[in-house]
Chains A and B, each alone.
Chain A
Amino acid sequence: MKDLTSLALDVAKTYGATYADIRVIDEEHESIAIKNGRVEEATTSTNYGFGIRVIADGSWGFASSFLVEKAEIKRVARLAVEIAKASAMIKKENVVLSPILPVQDTYKTYVEIDPFKVSLEDKLALLLRAEETVRKTPGVSISHASMNISREKKVFASLEGSYIEQEITESGAAVDATAIKGSDIQERSYPNSHGGDVATAGFEFIQGLKLDENAGRVAGEAVALLSAKQCPSGEFTVILDASQLALQVHESCGHPVELDRVLGMEASYAGTSFLTLDKLNKFQYGSPIVNINADATIPGALGTFGYDDEGVPAQRFDIIKDGRFVGYLTNRETAPVIGGQSNGSARADGWGRIPLIRMANINLLPGDSSLEKMISEVKDGLYLATNRSWSIDDKRLNFQFATQIGWEIKNGKLGAMVKNPNYTGITPEFWNSCDAIAGKDEWRVWGLPNCGKGEPTQLMHVAHGAAPARFRNVKVGVGR
């Protein structure tokens, strides 16, 4: 491989690149899904290719191809430089990268059971057990169970002398129940909606989810929701379960602290950020109990890696400290803007895309309460769980989330189930209304395999640690 990566870097340099890197990626993926008793999907795929990124005449160029062979590497390296020179036709200033020490290293996800070595029969049997439990629950209209495993073998080499090999394995699964009556459709998912939970781990993670043991509960809840009362409308004290909080952190904290977004590089697509440069170290983002960090080193978390796609080591750092906004996610290009060095947040969706600033594991740190204690302290409120829908404005201020299920809280006790809950708010007002967060025992990391950003669109695998938390004066039951 080194002969190919060296060739790419040499050709780029010959044609005028002052910086160049190449990523060669070999991906393998397997998906299985069961729906209503039949195998909906059983597929395997491989995807191999390389991308060359260069700076020439002070601007970026990138080109990529699926043909990993010498002649094509030469063509693509030359094209990347040609593209960079075209970029330089409309530039403001030369791209300056934060310094980095060249690295020669390897990183590999720790895997107990290689998911690619588990037989298809065993995988189908695990899913069928869960799906059958859902299917046989009276009142269920659609039963679904799914599993996704993937492995990415990635080589990164740069003109600066780095050569890094990484092998990242991911495993995840879900079971979903849908109940339909007339125009009423209710869904419950375990362990989470939108594909369940995913981790950088082996098949042991999927086994540990115990889909079959939880399938009956979510199926029963989906059916029960059909006859549950509508979620009330008004301002309430709301407790969010950890999985919904994970998405709340993702949309209202993770994205707004991406420094490329703040600098306008995503302005026209998903938008910019209210967390402008003047707010760093000054803005009270949340209440003093709110602490959020970025940590790409959590063992097994979906956003965990050894090095980002610029060769910067995985790191842990604060984003919100005692409620105050203290840190952005940066890459080598943007870090100098705030006088810093890259904190290792540049990642690309495969060989055909450039690295962008992406979340790794962005975590709401545990507090000192518990779900039981938080509920006991609420006179009239709601407990909402599992995301159903999400939306946020193009500065990440006004958000609206719907959840699959909710329960009333009356006089310190969990009460009746409610259906079609949603809630809305303005990001800093919402986080400043946080008055309790559950502790370590209820904290866990949730994998999110579908974070979209950039053009062409890139999907990134990220994760969020969270425990249930409580928020005051939240507007609930919007548009009912």
Chain B
Amino acid sequence: MIDKSRIEEAMQTAIDHSTADQTEVLANNRSMALTRFSNNYIHQNVAETNMSLSVRAVIDKKQGYASTNRLDKDSIKEMVDKAIEIAEHRPPDPDFISLPKPRPIVQRDMVSDTTVDYTPKQRASAIQRLLNVVAPRNFTAARAFSTGYTTFGVANSLGVNAVETISEADLKTVVMSPTSSAFGSAVAVDVSNIDIEKIALEAEETTLRGQNPVGLKPGTYTVILSPNAVADMVSFMAFAGFGALSLQEGRSFMKDKFGQQIMSQNISIWDDAYDPNTIGFTFDFEGVPKEKVVFIENGTAKGVCYDSYTAKKEGKKSTGHALPAPNPYGPLPLNLIMSPGDSSLEQMVKTSERAILVSRFHYTNLEDPIRTVLTGMTRDGTFLIEDGEIKMPVKNLRFTQSIVEALSKVELVSMDRELREGMLGASYIPWLKISEFNFTGATQF
């Protein structure tokens, strides 16, 4: 692992060399290894070490950007000179006021030496344990096990200076029979906390139960969505409307809705990088500490997240949700959390006369960002529930559904939540039972 002092030194070299009015430097040091398996053998096995620096030079409201992964002093200086040259030759941005000033940051301990030092042989042994569970049934398993760390630093000429490291172990698998499949996953700071056998056994059971699915006519159904499916949906919604830039540009579904109930009362959604159930850096890409931001409280629209640029436009304070500048998305939440309910998967099934249980969505995409119309397929285990019991596996269905509308028809929320990946990092998400969910098509398997 590259020393924190080495990263701080590289950032300081850039700041010291800069003649700009203000200068910001981001450092990213990443060492990740990933073992990929399919058909019950390892077919790809890779490792990467990289460190890059990015600089933002500000001259009289003009910003220039440059980045490099050549870290000798001359290359760092050359990068700074390029950013300054770009800034000098572009028109000013009247809305830009300043880079942020330093604020105190309380960091979390998110480094496990076990994860950092995990070897290719250890990853292979772990995968073998997974295969030992599923292979006797003639099932096959695929996907990947990755381990490594990311060190991220931000410094600016106003005194911001923050460096933090997170180690991460990420196991994902799809277990397959000739006619069914199931997904299992876990992500942890400490690789020792990943229970491989549990993931394998659960996926094996769903694969077994999902064999020989029957076709089901698309239509409007009550659905029970797994945390995987809900995380997918909620992160698209957050991308479309929980950031201040989408609000300021008039393309957020939150526009003109603050204080109004737009979802069911049992839905609350917020972002909190300090929640112990999430994994994430405690400061953003401008070095601003991340604040908890509530987006939806008991179904009511409450707020959006800000970076320094969007905050200053409204005379507000950044909430610490900047992405690396420049970017077209503006601030976004990367540690989404949904409130728990008092239900359970068992209760959701038991209380359903006729419903569809969805284990996972596949290839979701927004068709309309303001109406939050999302389309995608079900995958890795779709089941018909009748009279309070899981009756049979069904072939995969396509849905075309407004996310906000779906979240306004939530009947039950589970007490248990899981950390699941969506398009915006990992979210901590419960199971949901939703009425009137629109399935608009079907496929052949």
Contact = CB atoms under 8 A, between A and B. Distances in A.
Interface string A4-42: 000000000000000000000000000001010011111
Interface in A438-480: 454-456, 475, 478-479
Contacts of B371: 183
B38 A90 contact: no
A15 to B, nearest CB: 14
Interface string A363-400: 00000000000000000000000001111111101101
Contact of B35 (A87, A389, A397): A87
B162 to A, nearest CB: 22
A121 B89 contact: yes
B13 interface: no
A426 B444 CA distance: 9
Given A66-B50, A455-B34, A42 B90 contact: yes
A86 B35 contact: yes
Contacts of A389: 365-367, 375
Given A267-B174, A479-B401, A91 B65 contact: no
Given A86-B120, A426-B444, A354 B44 contact: yes
Given A46-B68, A64-B49, A268 B172 contact: yes
A60 B37 CA distance: 12
B251 A178 contact: yes
B67 interface: yes
Contacts of A48: 69-70
Contact of B32 (A45, A119, A392, A456): A456
Interface in A79-121: 79-80, 82-87, 89-92, 119-121
Interface string B200-244: 000000000000000000000000000000000000000000000
Contacts of B375: 389, 391, 400, 402, 422, 478-479
Contacts of B263: none
A124 B62 CA distance: 14
A91 B41 contact: yes
Contacts of A63: 46-48
B144 interface: yes
B46 A43 contact: no
A49 interface: yes
A142 interface: yes
Contacts of A397: 443-445
A252 to B, nearest CB: 12
Nearest to B362: A394
Interface in B302-358: 326-328
Interface residues of B, number: 94
Given A185-B251, A264-B140, A87 B45 contact: yes
B140 to A, nearest CB: 7
A44 B65 contact: yes
Residue among A66, A264, A424 with the highest chain B CB neighbour number at 10 A: A66
B250 interface: yes
Contacts of A142: 249, 251
A355 to B, nearest CB: 10
Residue among B37, B49, B65 with the highest chain A CB neighbour number at 10 A: B49
Interface stretch (B124-132, B152-160, B188-196, B283-291): B124-132
Interface in B122-154: 123-125, 127-128, 131, 140, 142-144, 146
B268 to A, nearest CB: 23
B98 interface: no
A297 interface: no
Contact of A141 (B49, B70, B249, B444): B249
Interface in A286-329: none
Nearest to A398: B443
A47 B50 CA distance: 10
A353 interface: yes
B396 interface: yes
Given A63-B47, A89-B125, A456-B34, A391 B174 contact: no
A344 interface: no
A92 B131 CA distance: 13
15 contacts: A39-B91, A40-B326, A42-B86, A44-B66, A46-B69, A65-B48, A86-B35, A124-B90, A142-B251, A354-B46, A388-B367, A394-B363, A424-B440, A456-B32, A479-B373
Given A44-B67, A64-B50, 5 more contacts: A40-B326, A43-B326, A86-B119, A353-B46, A391-B398
Interface of A: 33, 35, 38-49, 51, 59-67, 79-80, 82-87, 89-92, 119-121, 124, 141-142, 178, 180, 183-185, 263-271, 274, 352-354, 388-395, 397-398, 400, 402, 420, 422, 424, 426, 454-456, 475, 478-479
